[in-house]
Structure 1
Amino acid sequence: MPSHRSRQPVPLLIAEAANPEWVSVPLVGWSLARAVQERTGAHIVTQVRNRDAILRAGLVEGRDFTAIDTEAIAARANWLAERLRMGAGRGWTVVTALSSLTYPWFERKVWQCFGDRIRSGEFSVVHRITPLSPTAFGSLARRCRSAGIPFLIGPINGGAPWPGGFLRELHDEREWLAYLRGLHRLIPGHRSTLTNADAILVGSRHTQSEIAQRQQAKIIYMPENAIDPARFNLIARPPTDGVLRACFIGRLVPYKGLRLLLDAAAPLLRAGRVTLDVMGDGPERAEIETRLKDLRLQEAVRLHGWMPHDRIQEIASRCHLLTFPSIREFGGGVVLEAMALGVVPVVVDYAGPGELVSEETGFKVPLGTRDEIVRALRRQLETICDDPSELPGKAMRARALVRSMFTWDAKAEQVIQVHDWLRAGGDPDEIPAFPFPG
């Protein structure tokens, strides 16, 4: 049982996924929870699978965090998900759905451990940071409302539908469950969680649009991703030799759009006007290698495979553009990482990246059919090659934006503002708002 460290109420941070040694959602959960904890003395509650990594990060179990053991159910769900997803690195909707269905057991265990302390007023607010999925539900929101303790959820993000014209990519990703998207809203526990939450942080405008109108007044827009300046501390230089150096960072899976990029950039790559560094690995690797041979691009494109963050920024900082035409990206953390380096993003104007990038900081091509995206992306790259004079200004503004709004320190301060507002009564006329792009 955790010890009572402070007599002053502090936040209780629920981060079922929070791991400093992993990537994606676990890293977001850890980074935000840890940044808030450093400023408030908050207690972090996570799943037991994260215990060892958090201990290695220097936290003390019982004092700084509590690990809840739900492996009896979670391990079975993971086993089933691996068999239903039909291939490693694919079928993420299946994984998310099964995790959401088993997550209520985690919240039940949290209440068993902390219920008395929540009712006693030891915690100023209960904030569920992860899961990020808007499909996850549980009983904590209802129980906290009964106890008179504010409950905050989010940032939640996800659910962007597959764009039309990408049936092949949908099938390649084994996303058969996407045909049933939206059914989670019929689950009573889902409605109860949002109804009983005192405020909801949403990571995208799309996620906000899918929440019922009766909940809209308590929504706060807050993209979930941020960067650690210590991990992204190099500065890219503008082109000086007439060659535009582009990079692609991400898993080699259909929806990330590397095939679109290669088709769009092929003439420029063959002509020596553009080079491309690809950082990432995944099930498409063999197909990408074949495509490079077919398009005669082996000399202009380098496949680096998976690499740690320090190596990513070393290579990316030698580039001028992040070319990232993902067609279904919820968060787009890699876009912020590139912007932090002064690498100007070129993205498809859809979901997360489309909300993070503006005309001031990068380039956006319209979402369309596959052929339309390829043509628009090729035109954009040709325009930049012909006149790269906009790049230094966009790079400078991108770096300034990330450092003012998208570091974990900045994000923690924004979250604490929401905590303070809730603790003061949560007046809807004074709900916090932040000037994020989008």
Structure 2
Amino acid sequence: MKPGKLKVLLIIEQCNPEWSSVPLEGYNYFQGIRQWVDVTLATHIRNREALEKLPKPPNAVYIPESALSRKYHRFIENIVAKGKINWPLYHALSYPIYEEFNRRVYQHFKSEIARGDYDIVHALTPMMPRYPVKAVKACKTTPFILGPVNGGVPFPPGFQETARQENANLNFLRAFGRFLIPGYRATYQKADRVLAGSTYTLNLIQRLFSLTDERISLFYENGIPKHFLQNSSASDHKDKIHLLFVGRLVPYKCADLVIAALGRLNASARDRLHLTIVGGGSEQQKLEQQVRDLKLEDIVHFAGWVEQKETLQYYRQADIFCFPSIREFGGAVVLEAMACGLPCIVANNGGIGEYVTEQTGFKIDPRSREYLTEQVAEKIDLLVKDENLRSRMSQKSTERAKEFVWENKATKIIEIYQEILEK
């Protein structure tokens, strides 16, 4: 079957080109897939304004939100956000808002799906593996695809204090939901294919729902825009080697660990470095104090929060990317850095450890905070001293990142559609 003749219903609750994180991912998947097939998009009405600004507005059904849901959303934001978001509680309390969307999608499309109006039904967001998709009930003869779903990665044993700071004690709510949320298990058990965004999530889902290998595939969650594929321009910097961190300044992202690693370098290596920290968050004041305590003010710069599209200039001015986040599901910043030719130093727990290879950087097992800090310092020192190694890893990073260009990921999804339909 030729791709152009496929009719696909994409259910993407969060699909917005003007936002970041999952809504932007949802939009990029949608934009890539619709280049190949006839797409009908089911998305939340909050995305309508941004999507209708596009040069080619989508064929979309915008699912409305009740006044009660709007009030409830404001309510949970007020009680959950206290300087930083309590994510486990936020996701648990947010479920009724998603369920309203889920129910209304089913009511709107169930007859069309049952009639066979679509060749494929594909639900992409939310990407956490904890939500049901009621539309699967109507997919009696129409293949249903879920994902990529990603998440569930635990905190490393040596970082329990960080886990406490991130309210990990509430993570039991995930397992609780598996038994209480109607249709949750059926969504996975009836899906013709589940796309898992990381190896950890693939193994988790396969174990929970006893899925055969034929019904679940590894399909990394994140992608990158094609224009990111350009080597760093930092080779022009003769005086300093530019180290970069990009991410929210919250405990588990471990920007403090990068600063601590700088403090452990000998003076000759430290004097050759300049660290830029791009991002904002609840830990910023602590991090700034840490820099003062270590007397690193001359070599550490806080750029603050910037728009995603503006981060490109920071990648292109850098030489090394350091992101030792200890619990990262997607980690798009690592792919963006690799696309710009940066060797990457990451913690090997979650999705980011699967992006980085021995040819493109270093992935360090987070055995403990002390071990991770010491290893980050060692790898920074090695890359500072070995220009040839930096150059080789830079080239390999860009090559590796090409696999994750959104257009290439969309092509792979079309191949999955065809494979399922042929069966």
What is the TM-score when the length of structure 1 is the normalising length?
0.89
- Which of 211, 228, 239 aligns to 1:215? It is 211
1:200 corresponds to: 194
Q: Give the distance between the partners of 1:236 and 1:88, measured in 2 at CA.
A: 37
Q: Give the distance between the partners of 2:86 and 2:171, measured in 1 at CA.
A: 9
Q: Give the distance between the partners of 1:269 and 1:278, measured in 2 at CA.
A: 21
Task: Indicate if the aligned counterparts of 2:337 and 2:344 stay in contact, CA closer than 8 A.
Answer: yes
What SS does the aligned partner of 1:165 have?
helix
Worse-superposed segment, 334-343 or 374-383: 374-383
Task: Indicate if the aligned counterparts of 1:12 and 1:43 stay in contact, CA closer than 8 A.
Answer: yes
The Cα of 1:269 is off from its aligned counterpart by 8.4
Q: Give the distance between the partners of 1:326 and 1:409, measured in 2 at CA.
A: 27
Q: Give the distance between the partners of 1:42 and 1:22, measured in 2 at CA.
A: 22
Q: Per-residue displacement from partner, 1:103-159 (whole Å, max 9, x unpaired)? A: 233222112212222122221100001110100113212221x3x110000000011
Task: Indicate if the aligned counterparts of 1:91 and 1:175 stay in contact, CA closer than 8 A.
Answer: no
1:316 corresponds to: 315
2:297 corresponds to: 298
The Cα of 1:309 is off from its aligned counterpart by 3.4
Q: Give the distance between the partners of 1:330 and 1:261, measured in 2 at CA.
A: 20
2:129 matched to 1:115? no
Q: Give the distance between the partners of 2:72 and 2:55, measured in 1 at CA.
A: 30
What SS does the aligned partner of 2:195 have?
strand
How has the CA–CA distance of structure 1 residues 356 and 380 changed in structure 2, closer, same or farther, with 3 Å as cutoff? Answer: same
Please give the residue correspondences for 1:126-165 in structure 2 after superposition, counting only pairs within 5 Å.
126-144=121-139, 146=140, 148-165=141-158
Q: Give the distance between the partners of 2:7 and 2:36, measured in 1 at CA.
A: 10
The Cα of 1:423 is off from its aligned counterpart by 1.8
1:289 corresponds to: 288
Please give the residue correspondences for 1:42-53 in structure 2 after superposition, counting only pairs within 5 Å.
42-53=39-50
Task: Indicate if the aligned counterparts of 1:9 and 1:121 stay in contact, CA closer than 8 A.
Answer: no
Letter in 2 for 1:317: R
2:48 matched to 1:58? no
Task: Indicate if the aligned counterparts of 2:228 and 2:340 stay in contact, CA closer than 8 A.
Answer: no
The Cα of 1:180 is off from its aligned counterpart by 4.2
Root mean square deviation of aligned Cα: 2.1
What SS does the aligned partner of 2:205 have?
coil
How has the CA–CA distance of structure 1 residues 202 and 73 changed in structure 2, closer, same or farther, with 3 Å as cutoff? Answer: farther
Task: Indicate if the aligned counterparts of 1:103 and 1:138 stay in contact, CA closer than 8 A.
Answer: no
How has the CA–CA distance of structure 1 residues 297 and 71 changed in structure 2, closer, same or farther, with 3 Å as cutoff? Answer: farther
1:3 corresponds to: none
1:369 corresponds to: 368
How has the CA–CA distance of structure 1 residues 394 and 141 changed in structure 2, closer, same or farther, with 3 Å as cutoff? Answer: same
What SS does the aligned partner of 1:210 have?
helix
Q: Give the distance between the partners of 2:7 and 2:254, measured in 1 at CA.
A: 43
The Cα of 1:261 is off from its aligned counterpart by 0.9
Please give the residue correspondences for 1:55-134 in structure 2 after superposition, counting only pairs within 5 Å.
55-60=52-57, 64-72=59-67, 74-134=69-129
Task: Indicate if the aligned counterparts of 2:347 and 2:353 stay in contact, CA closer than 8 A.
Answer: yes
**Unaligned segments of structure 2, at least 5 residues:** none
- Which of 412, 415, 423 aligns to 2:413? It is 415
2:167 matched to 1:168? no
How has the CA–CA distance of structure 1 residues 179 and 266 changed in structure 2, closer, same or farther, with 3 Å as cutoff? Answer: farther
Q: Give the distance between the partners of 1:74 and 1:228, measured in 2 at CA.
A: 34
Q: Give the distance between the partners of 1:378 and 1:9, measured in 2 at CA.
A: 52
Letter in 2 for 1:112: Q
Q: Give the distance between the partners of 1:269 and 1:112, measured in 2 at CA.
A: 64
1:333 corresponds to: 332
Q: Give the distance between the partners of 1:387 and 1:242, measured in 2 at CA.
A: 15
Worse-superposed segment, 218-227 or 268-277: 268-277
Letter in 1 for 2:129: P
Task: Indicate if the aligned counterparts of 2:20 and 2:308 stay in contact, CA closer than 8 A.
Answer: no
Task: Indicate if the aligned counterparts of 1:248 and 1:323 stay in contact, CA closer than 8 A.
Answer: yes
The Cα of 1:175 is off from its aligned counterpart by 3.9
How has the CA–CA distance of structure 1 residues 168 and 84 changed in structure 2, closer, same or farther, with 3 Å as cutoff? Answer: farther
What is the TM-score when the length of structure 2 is the normalising length?
0.92
Task: Indicate if the aligned counterparts of 1:155 and 1:223 stay in contact, CA closer than 8 A.
Answer: yes
The Cα of 1:189 is off from its aligned counterpart by 2.1
Q: Give the distance between the partners of 1:105 and 1:216, measured in 2 at CA.
A: 31
Task: Indicate if the aligned counterparts of 2:146 and 2:191 stay in contact, CA closer than 8 A.
Answer: yes
User: Structure 1 vs Structure 2: percent identity of aligned residues?
Assistant: 31
2:260 matched to 1:263? yes
Task: Indicate if the aligned counterparts of 1:365 and 1:380 stay in contact, CA closer than 8 A.
Answer: no
How has the CA–CA distance of structure 1 residues 334 and 143 changed in structure 2, closer, same or farther, with 3 Å as cutoff? Answer: same
Task: Indicate if the aligned counterparts of 1:248 and 1:322 stay in contact, CA closer than 8 A.
Answer: yes
The Cα of 1:56 is off from its aligned counterpart by 1.5
Aligned positions, number: 414
Q: Give the distance between the partners of 2:249 and 2:237, measured in 1 at CA.
A: 30
Q: Give the distance between the partners of 1:300 and 1:39, measured in 2 at CA.
A: 48
Worse-superposed segment, 319-328 or 83-92: 83-92
Q: Per-residue displacement from partner, 1:199-229 (whole Å, max 9, x unpaired)? A: 0000011111111442142111001100112
**Unaligned segments of structure 1, at least 5 residues:** 1-6, 426-438
2:232 corresponds to: 235
Q: Per-residue displacement from partner, 1:151-184 (whole Å, max 9, x unpaired)? A: 0000000111122232332233344412444333
Task: Indicate if the aligned counterparts of 1:244 and 1:275 stay in contact, CA closer than 8 A.
Answer: yes
